Structure 1
Amino acid sequence: MSDETGTNVEVVREATRALARKYDNDYWLDKDRNHQYPWEFVKDFAAGGWLGAMIPEEYGGIGLGLQEAGAMMEEIAASGAGMSGGSAIHFYVFPPAPIVKYGSEEMKKKYLPKIASGEMLLAFGITEPTAGVDTSRIRTKAEKVDGGWVINGQKVFITNAQNAHRILLLARTSPRDDEHPLRGMTIFCAEMDKEHVTAREIDKMGRAAIDTNELFIDNLFVADEDVVGEVGRGFNYIIDGLNPERIVVGLEGVGIARAALEIATDYAKNRVVFDRPIGKNQAVAHPLADSWIRIQAARQVAMNAAKLFDEGKPCGPEAAAAKYLGAEAGYETANRGFSTLGGYAYAREYHIERLLREVRLLPNAPFSQEMVRNYVSQQVLGLPRSY
């Protein structure tokens, strides 16, 4: 690859676009219908080295930046894979970040090459049913014992728990302090030991190929060497990962928007009603043109945020804007695509309804559009906190 970042991005974009488009819309419809994990897709990306996109070369990865990884995730979603394909690769590329940045040398050598090769799949366990977006109120607790920790608690909306080998698990290692509520939480790289971790799959609206779960953790032992970084500083490590996640989620939204626009535009060109293609009507053409404009804007904001991140510069507001605009572009474009196809959109064989179901999550998760506006109001505009 060239050393020029812009060229690298295009090389990655072209290569991963070609790889992702080997799997057509019918493949993803079949995986969605049958609730089957897309292992063939994952193995192809593993063979290309892409699962280790952001893992340093010395640990088996290819050491790319967020711009390249974000372009890859956009192309995966745009291929028609949507969030099913996006999540399948996302959870190899991004959850290992705390290990890359804060793990011990022994931990990095032990786990990162296995993640990069596709041999090991990670889950990420933060969310709890009683805490919501207030992570300071998680109740999962880790107690110190000889040689390690014993963890008990519950997590919810945990992706990949049915297939994951390990989970990056956030737990309280000291009681909540009202003056410093975000201290005293620790990240553990814990084994998904089925004798001590029960994963109950959640029946959900979309992305059926990728499992989402409730976890019940009962006396799970984690050795001291599987503590990520320092005890009590887990929340700080999670915060470091929020900006990349926001940026990539935004680009996945852009990818779904592109996939929906491609289907809708093709339909509008070829569907003839009253002796003319429906795309000749401005009521059809203008919303699609507006979506194209919004896609371009969302991508530019997201890639600018990724560039700032790669340069080590602050990018919180830009990352928040990337998530906001990408989620909006994805949902609005899929919804407009649905309207363009009319009654046929309701038929699963046209794929718009699948994309719409999958992208509908993005305005709400990993955090809502309202929370983005709260953040910008307070941190950028200097307005009083409203929540």
Structure 2
Amino acid sequence: MTETENTVEIVRKATRELARKFDNDYWLDKDRKHEYPWDFIKAFAAGGWLGAMIPEEYGGIGLGLKEAAVMMAEISSSGAGMSGGSAIHFYVFPPAPVVKYGSEEMKREFLPQLASGDLLMAFGVTEPDAGVDTSRIKTKAVKVDGGWKVNGQKVFITNAQNAQKILLLARTSPRRDDKPLWGMSLFLADMDREHIAVREIDKLGRAAIDTNELFIDDLFVPEARLVGEVDKGFYYLLDGLNPERIVVGMEGIGLGRAALEIASEYAKNRVVFDRPIGQNQAVAHPLADSWIRLEAAEGMAMRAAELFDEGKPCGPEAAAAKYLGAEAGFEACDRAFSTLGGYAYAKEYHVERLWREVRLLRNAPFSQEMVRNYVSQQVLGLPRSY
């Protein structure tokens, strides 16, 4: 076993033990109450895990993506699902542009607070009229004395009910047809409630973690809170997209494993017609097939994470990891639903919660169709279809 492989297994074991201290009933309670899991977050903060990918000099533990990906899979497979996954995800991954492109002053001021859990950050990119075409965002930042004034609207923004800061993407130059993704800038802005109206969205799953619309009206952002250079913000985001794709895939895998664990136990103990239902191949084979697909999806995700950690291109592998993790995870949850039959509808069995949460991953952070578009064009060399 190499040193990296040993570290991965240490992280896997430690985070599995920690995450499983918060059982399925804990997450059911948070889901029912729409209550943010602060005690779960504090437990991971105490272990240093919120700073998993923040360099040690800024208060983190400086792990690679392989270790962080395994951590996120263990969190979601513990029964925490996307409620627990998103709670930790937004400490670990959205700060990536700040780590790489933020000023030294910005990094020293904010990264230690993120690593300790003292600062919660939202991530403001998506807009209601732009969809997956980020080049069409309308939120605009205009230069003023000492900084910028921002106006616009964002949607599907996680954590905005509690966040103190937001990593905000806004247009700083008009859109150009020849370079549509140029002309946007990133700001680490205050969640100033006098200038940002936050409206929570009532949604299907992940009820413990808030999702919101934002209405931004003359929000002032000091010059020092610009991340990197003006007009290059979207390109900075790209550095975080591949890690996010990989980790979302791993979270889908974890959700599938959580459901598979419940379904397998049920199939061993549920007796119908004088035999355990798991003795029937119609029940057993779909669950076995899901185990195989989840294992294969993790193999792709870890391969992509390895390439990223080595500084090698990993776009196709990262996209495939997201695609396979979302598909295998959803299929496993759906098959668990079928295994439990009518009991799957009962919240106390937890499968319906996992099923609701994993469905999100087929659409977010981008759809399965967009993955196929990317692979068609970038890997197979086919003409662009969108």
TM-score with structure 1 setting the length: 0.99
Cα deviation 1:227-267 (Å, max 9, x = unaligned) = 00001000101111110000000000000011000000000
Determine the structure 1 residue equivalent to 2:232: 233
Letter in 1 for 2:25: D
Determine the structure 1 residue equivalent to 2:124: 125
Matches within 5 A, 1:279-294: 279-294=278-293
Cα deviation 1:282-308 (Å, max 9, x = unaligned) = 000000000000010000000010000
SS in 1 for 2:360: coil
Determine the structure 2 residue equivalent to 1:367: 366
Determine the structure 2 residue equivalent to 1:200: 199
**Offset of 1:147 from its aligned partner?**
0.6
Cα–Cα, structure 1 residues 3 and 51, in superposed 2: closer, same or farther, change >3 Å? Answer: farther
Distance 2:323 2:56 in 1: 32
Distance 2:238 2:57 in 1: 25
Determine the structure 1 residue equivalent to 2:335: 336
Determine the structure 1 residue equivalent to 2:40: 41
Q: Which has the larger displacement, 307-316 or 170-179? A: 170-179
Distance 1:236 1:89 in 2: 24
Determine the structure 2 residue equivalent to 1:140: 139
Establish whether residue 159 from structure 1 lines up as the match of residue 158 from structure 2.
yes
Distance 1:176 1:254 in 2: 38
**Offset of 1:3 from its aligned partner?**
8.1
**Offset of 1:114 from its aligned partner?**
0.2
Letter in 2 for 1:15: A
Determine the structure 2 residue equivalent to 1:50: 49
Determine the structure 1 residue equivalent to 2:277: 278
**Offset of 1:179 from its aligned partner?**
1.7
Letter in 1 for 2:14: A
Letter in 2 for 1:375: Y
Distance 1:298 1:124 in 2: 27
Question: Gaps (5+ residues) in structure 2?
Answer: none
Determine the structure 2 residue equivalent to 1:103: 102
Establish whether residue 184 from structure 1 lines up as the match of residue 194 from structure 2.
no
SS in 1 for 2:106: helix
Q: Which has the larger displacement, 170-179 or 321-330? A: 170-179
Determine the structure 1 residue equivalent to 2:348: 349
**Offset of 1:386 from its aligned partner?**
1.1
TM-score with structure 2 setting the length: 0.99
**Offset of 1:89 from its aligned partner?**
0.2
Determine the structure 2 residue equivalent to 1:114: 113
**Offset of 1:183 from its aligned partner?**
0.8
Determine the structure 2 residue equivalent to 1:256: 255
SS in 2 for 1:361: helix
Cα deviation 1:180-203 (Å, max 9, x = unaligned) = 111110000000000000110000
Establish whether residue 246 from structure 1 lines up as the match of residue 245 from structure 2.
yes
Matches within 5 A, 1:59-74: 59-74=58-73
RMSD of the alignment, in Å?
0.8
Letter in 1 for 2:123: F
SS in 2 for 1:290: helix
Cα deviation 1:131-179 (Å, max 9, x = unaligned) = 0011001000001011100000000000000011100000001111122
Establish whether residue 26 from structure 1 lines up as the match of residue 25 from structure 2.
yes
Question: Gaps (5+ residues) in structure 1?
Answer: none
**Offset of 1:4 from its aligned partner?**
1.0
Distance 1:375 1:135 in 2: 15
Distance 1:303 1:181 in 2: 32
List, as ranges, runs of 4+ consecutive aligned residues in structure 1 with deviation greater than 4 Å: none
Matches within 5 A, 1:303-342: 303-342=302-341
